[in-house]
Amino acid sequence: MRRPYGVKIINKKKAGAKGLKWVMGEVETMSLLIHPNIVRLEETFQDEENLWIVMEYMPGGELRSAVLRDGIFSETQARRITTQLLLALEFIHQNGIVHRDMKPENCLLSEGDLVCKISDFGFSVLVGSDQCLMSFCGTTVFMAPEIFGDTSYGKPVDMWAIGVMVYFMVTGTYPFTGRSQRELTDAICGGRCNLKSGRIAEGSASLRDFISMLLVVDPNRRLSAREALKHPWIKVGMNMGNSIRDETESKRHGLRPRSVFRAAIIALMAAHRLCYLRYCRMLENNSCSAFTILRNFRFAVSGVYEPPCPTLDCSGVFARHPRGVRFLLPMLEVSRTIEALDLSSNNIDNLTVFQQLAKTVSQHPTLVSLNLSFNPIPLLAGRGLLRLARSPQSKLLHLGLDGTLLPSETIAQISAALKEKAVVSSAAAFTPQLTPATRSLEISTSLSRNNPCLASPRQRFGLPHSPFTRQPVRKTTEPRLPPLSNTKRRAGK
């Protein structure tokens, strides 16, 4: 049986490089978010002219069209849709993503059973747990007050939009209006929403309380998706939400094992890609995304890093942005094969970076060589490097400090400490080590030699001796020759 799909066609020439980058960001986000209430991305492909995005088909159309076509929703219908949107938003926010364009036009319905799914992630962005967004984007009537201000914003902007959407579903109008864009903006920023008159007043007190807790000007006091799911107005219909989950689970159990396995693999790959995307966005926010060595997929996903060879050459890599060394140190900590690290010519002059570097190197199990030449090392960092050179737990034997700002006396002390450590380590390498087994064998042999009662079973029963024990001198029964002196004396007589 053939299934219908929704297809979005983008003309690459009209979109331009910036537009295509925007679209590919949306595609990447959709591929990472797999949830029953998020429109599923099926496939993407392109030809010379167009980019084709194949998505799950939702025959019910947009939520806004359904309200305008069929009339306002009852509280039960609005609650059912709102619950699904909150479940999807909770999942999106848990993955560190802000949608930024929540509105009825971006919520699609199935046909007949009021299953609602979020679509259009064109404005979505990965922010982690921080409130760090500053761009002005979205649809004005659904935009939160903090977007209009000079402060940063984050996930609460999606919850404000949910409040506006609930108001729209049960009344067919918007909570904030104005004869001009300026008046509308002032109404939103002032939070001037009347919930005591008009159609909204005909709703239940629980509904009005739910909307009022979402349309709070202060984002810190606004309900999160998880908190909104616990609100009494939503909890009344949670049995309906449970039935949705049960239906989803029953469909999943009805799949063939191969399909289940394939879905699990896709989900795992999506989770890995999401981890990597989050890690790359973190590097980008710290102006370190240009460093190829830091964009290591294995480290971002599993926290494991092993370079192809034991020498890690980073000479001059961080010269334009020395603080990027901070993001290299966690990779160095988890490595167990790096023996030499070259950080020369990187303009490292931050005392904190040197302190973190010294701590990492002192605890590293295999690193024996570190090159910090041609870096403007601060004088206070010299003490830490001297402690590192003298540290008995450190494996470091060579420290390159040519062309630095450190005094010659400090460099001489560091060099002497490393030479002393090298002598001690080489002497320890050639010292024969007596194993516990050999030591106990020698002790038992000496005891048995001094006391026959403590002789070993080998000695008592006449078995061959161990090659590690000294062979006893056997007494012969043959007659001895007389001493030479007696023989001469007798011959003389």
Architecture of domain 5-56: 2-Layer Sandwich (3.30)
Q: Contact at 8 Å (CB) between 8 and 19?
A: no
Contacts 24+ apart (CB under 8 A), 386-391: 386/410, 386/413, 386/414, 386/417, 387/358, 388/358, 388/361, 388/362, 389/413, 389/414, 389/417, 389/418, 389/421, 390/417, 390/421, 391/362
- Asked whether the beta carbons of 109 and 63 are under 8 A apart, the reply is yes
Measured at the CA of 294, the angle between CA 291 and CA 299, to 5 degrees, comes to: 160
Residues of the chain with CATH 1.10.510.10: 61-253
Residue 78's contacts (CB-CB under 8 Å, 6 or more residues apart) are 166, 169, 170
Active centre residues (catalytic): 101
Tell me, what DSSP letter sits at residue 445?
H
Identify the H or E element spanning 311.
strand 311-313
Bridge partners (DSSP) listed for residue 41: 55
Q: With contact defined as beta carbons under 8 Å apart, do 89 and 234 qualify? A: no
pTM: 0.52
| Architecture of the domain whose range is 292-430 | Alpha-Beta Horseshoe (3.80)
What tens-digit pLDDT sequence spans the chain (493 residues)?
Answer: 577 888 888 888 888 888 888 888 888 888 888 899 999 988 888 888 888 888 999 999 999 999 999 899 999 999 999 999 999 999 999 988 899 899 999 999 998 778 999 998 888 887 755 554 545 566 889 999 998 887 778 899 999 999 999 999 999 999 998 888 899 999 999 988 888 877 888 889 999 999 999 999 999 999 999 999 999 999 886 654 455 444 444 444 454 565 556 656 666 666 677 677 778 878 888 888 888 899 888 898 888 999 989 999 999 999 999 989 999 999 999 999 999 999 999 999 998 899 999 999 999 999 999 999 999 998 889 989 999 999 988 999 999 999 998 999 999 999 999 999 888 877 766 555 545 544 444 444 444 455 554 455 445 445 455 444 455 555 555 555 555 555 444 444 4
61-253 placed in CATH 3.40.50.1820: no
User: Which of 355, 346, 271 shows the shortest CA–CA distance to 316?
Assistant: 346
Query: Which two three-digit tokens encode residue 459?
Result: 């000695």
Outline which parts of the chain fall under CATH 3.80.10.10.
292-430
Which residues in the chain are classed under CATH 3.30.200.20? 5-56
